[in-house]
Amino acid sequence: MLGWLRRLLGDETPDGFTGTLTGGEHVLAAATAEQGHLVATRFGLWLPEPDGTRRVGWHLISKATWDNDVLTVIEAEEAAQAGESVVIADLPPKRFALRRPGKIPTVVRERVTASIRARYRKELPGGAAWFVQRRLPGTQGEVLQVRPEPGADDDVVAEIAREAAEQLRGEAR
């Protein structure tokens, strides 16, 4: 379909975008990198992959920076469950050179920041861990994520994460 006709009908995805937006998901910003299209929606950031595109929820973007026309995105993977908490680990950064970034850098920064409800760094024997309460995109739900720093004892981190999630659940009642 012609680009102008798609936009007229409410589909603002860029020509050649291979992702499929879900109900209630609309484009907030889009830009094109050498790897393909980046599309920001209320649910997350669609990233180009070798075999298509993939949406990363805002709550799973640990960090995003904009510098010298390059957007760098650090995605977190859910490494383990600790009670109702999730232990996360950062994946290697992905870099996207954007000649015409449009609103992508601003929207990404705003959405990642808005997904963070609270954060706290706790020193532990051998290391530390970040405890981050994040909003889940497209829902009223939240998740407590825990990102151990190198040297932190995984068992200690998991136990504290379980206790923190239970305490937060009790406060929500």
Q: With beta carbons less than 8 A apart as the criterion, state whether 82 and 162 touch.
A: yes
| pLDDT reported for residue 150 | 92
At 166 the three-state DSSP class reads: helix
Q: How many domains does the chain have?
A: 1
Spatial contact of 105 and 121, defined as CB atoms under 8 Å apart:
no
Residue 69 · residue 97 · CB < 8 Å: yes
Distance of CA 18 to the CA centre of its chain: 20
Q: 173: which strand partners?
A: none
* Residue spans of the chain under pLDDT 50: 1-2, 5-10
Structural domain span for residue 114: 3-172
Task: Tell me the CATH number at 120.
Answer: 2.30.29.30
pLDDT at 24: 87
DSSP 8-state symbol, 92: P
Q: Are 35 and 48 in contact (CB under 8 A)?
A: yes
SS3 167: helix
Pull the structure tokens for residue 155: 């068992």
CA dihedral 52, 58, 62, 66 (to 10 degrees): 80
pTM assigned to the model:
0.88
pLDDT digits (tens, 9 = 90+) for 93-142: 999 999 899 999 999 999 999 999 999 999 988 899 999 999 998 888 89
* SS3 (DSSP) at 157: helix
Q: For 140, left (φ over 0), alpha (ψ -120 to 50), or beta?
A: alpha
- The pLDDT score that the predictor gives to residue 111 is 96
Question: What pLDDT is stored for residue 135 in this prediction?
Answer: 93
